[in-house]
Amino acid sequence: MEYSPASSLCAMFSLQGQVAVVTGASRGLGKSMATKLAEVGAHVVLVARSQDQLEANVAELTQRHLKASFKVVDCSDEPAINTAMAAIFEEHGKIDILVNNAGLIMRKPATETTAPEWLGIMDINLNGAFYLAREAARYMEKNKYGRIINTLSALSVFGRPGIHAYTASKHGLHGLTKSLAGELGSKGITVNGIGPGYMKTDNTAALQTNPEFDTLVRSRTPVPRWGEPEDMDAAVVFLCSPMAGYVNGHMLMVDGGFTSTVCNHALE
């Protein structure tokens, strides 16, 4: 067969035969990343709390003859996580990829934030991500291969007023990414993060319709627009692929250059 650069490149990024678990996959960034992983060959297990939306997403994928299933899991619930990951391993015989994407954000002054509100953010964004990574690593170790990708944030590297729990959790998840990378790399498991900038998702809907904030985002981002969920897709495919075998403990920013150029007081 004649050599084809295009087909060779596709093979390099193929995830054919792999099993990928994507949390927060009911909508937004998680749904988009799960779809792209399925498109490049993985069987994707979509995880979230909304059964109706998960069923609809899986139906969309299977109608396209892509491989997908789902698990309804509260990603702050350690026993539920343990049970779900064990069931996925039992059903598929392996877990190759975990995309830790489930997350919550709350905008509230520090003086008005309650302990339950603070802990609720931490339980999803940081604690749950650790439980999922821990369980995934246990199964990945059996095959001496794995890819763990954590959805980080521009707020993993700077702060903003009024988003305290989210910022702290994403800074923590950045640190966890690096510490897990150091521990698991020798076991054939890489751990990396993707840092989205200001993306068009449900979480930013109110900000997108605020003319002043919209202008600030566009003017302060060297690529002068909001990010789309699809902008995350190439990053997650690369980090999940065999091509990224020597990329470990890294945060790949998908932010149009925002964090490379902006001062942390630019957006109030």
Tell me whether residue 160 is in a domain: yes
Tell me whether residue 131 is in a domain: yes
Rounded to whole angstroms, what are the CA distances from 243 to 135, 236, 247? 24, 12, 9
Average of per-residue pLDDT across 198-205 = 82
Does 259 or 147 have the greater pLDDT score? 147
Q: What pTM did the predictor assign?
A: 0.91
Under the banding of pLDDT at 50, 70 and 90, the label for residue 10 is low
Rounded to whole angstroms, what are the CA distances from 189 to 69, 143, 213, 251? 24, 10, 40, 16
Tell me whether residue 5 is in a domain: no
Q: In percent, how much of the chain has pLDDT > 90?
A: 73
Question: What CATH number is associated with residue 100?
Answer: 3.40.50.720
Tell me whether residue 191 is in a domain: yes
Dihedral sign for Cα 159, 261, 195, 192, please. negative
* 166 included as an active-site residue: yes
Average of per-residue pLDDT across 8-14 = 72
pLDDT over threshold 60, residue 171: yes
Tell me whether residue 8 is in a domain: no
Q: Nearest Cα to 76, choosing from 111, 40, 48?
A: 48
pLDDT over threshold 60, residue 181: yes
Under the banding of pLDDT at 50, 70 and 90, the label for residue 266 is very low
Alpha carbons 9 and 229: distance in angstroms, whole number: 23
Dihedral sign for Cα 252, 255, 256, 262, please. negative
pLDDT at position 2:
52
> Contact at 8 Å (CB) between 244 and 189?
no
Average of per-residue pLDDT across 190-194 = 98
pLDDT over threshold 90, residue 201: no
Number of domains in the chain: 1
pLDDT tens-digit readout, 73-129: 999 999 999 999 999 999 999 999 999 999 998 999 999 999 999 999 999 999 999
From the centroid of its chain, how far is CA 81? 16
Q: Catalytic one among 139, 166, 198, 246? A: 166
Tell me whether residue 3 is in a domain: no
Is residue 138 classed exposed, middle or buried when 0-12, 13-18 and 19+ CB atoms within 10 A define those classes?
middle
Tell me whether residue 210 is in a domain: yes
Structural domain boundaries, residue 244: 15-261
Tell me whether residue 6 is in a domain: no
Torsion over CA of 167, 173, 178 and 184, rounded to 10 degrees?
180
Both tokens of 267, joined, read 């957006």
Alpha carbons 178 and 97: distance in angstroms, whole number: 17
Average of per-residue pLDDT across 227-232 = 88
pLDDT at position 220:
87
